[in-house]
């Protein structure tokens, strides 16, 4: 029911039931940011994200996220959420 109301609100009426298998995730990859983060692998950095700053050592970089070592734990940060980076 929510599916129909949502699309009706935006002028697109669908009478078919919602099928989660038809949902596509679209993610943009910024190759320049990925390349810059790869060059900083092993370095202690500050990543400023849309939710605040995170300091840690870059362990690994993938096309959509970076893995940071934060003292005794690890954090996975989506690259799409990174505003800027700075080596410390």
Burial state string for 24-48 with b = 16 or more CB within 10 A and e = fewer than 16: eeeeeeeeebbeebeebeeeebebe
- Note the pLDDT tens digit of each residue in 4-42: 555 555 555 556 676 777 766 666 778 899 999 999 999
| CATH class in words for 27-87 | mainly beta
User: What does pTM read for this prediction?
Assistant: 0.68
pLDDT at 32: 92
Quote the percentage of the chain above a pLDDT of 90. Answer: 64
73 has a pLDDT exceeding 80: yes
- Tokens representing 20 are 């989660």
C-alpha of 6 from chain center: 25
Segments making up each domain of the chain, as ranges: 27-87
pLDDT at 68: 97
The rounded mean pLDDT for the chain is 84
């Amino acid at each position: 029911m929510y599916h129909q109301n949502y699309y009706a609100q935006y002028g697109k009426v669908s009478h078919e039931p919602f099928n989660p298998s038809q949902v596509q995730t679209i993610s943009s990859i910024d190759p320049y940011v990925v390349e810059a983060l790869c060059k900083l692998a092993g370095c202690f950095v500050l990543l400023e994200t849309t939710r605040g700053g995170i300091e840690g050592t870059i362990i690994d970089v993938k096309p959509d996220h970076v893995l940071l070592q934060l003292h005794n734990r690890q954090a996975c940060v989506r690259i799409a959420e990174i505003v800027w980076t700075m080596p410390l």
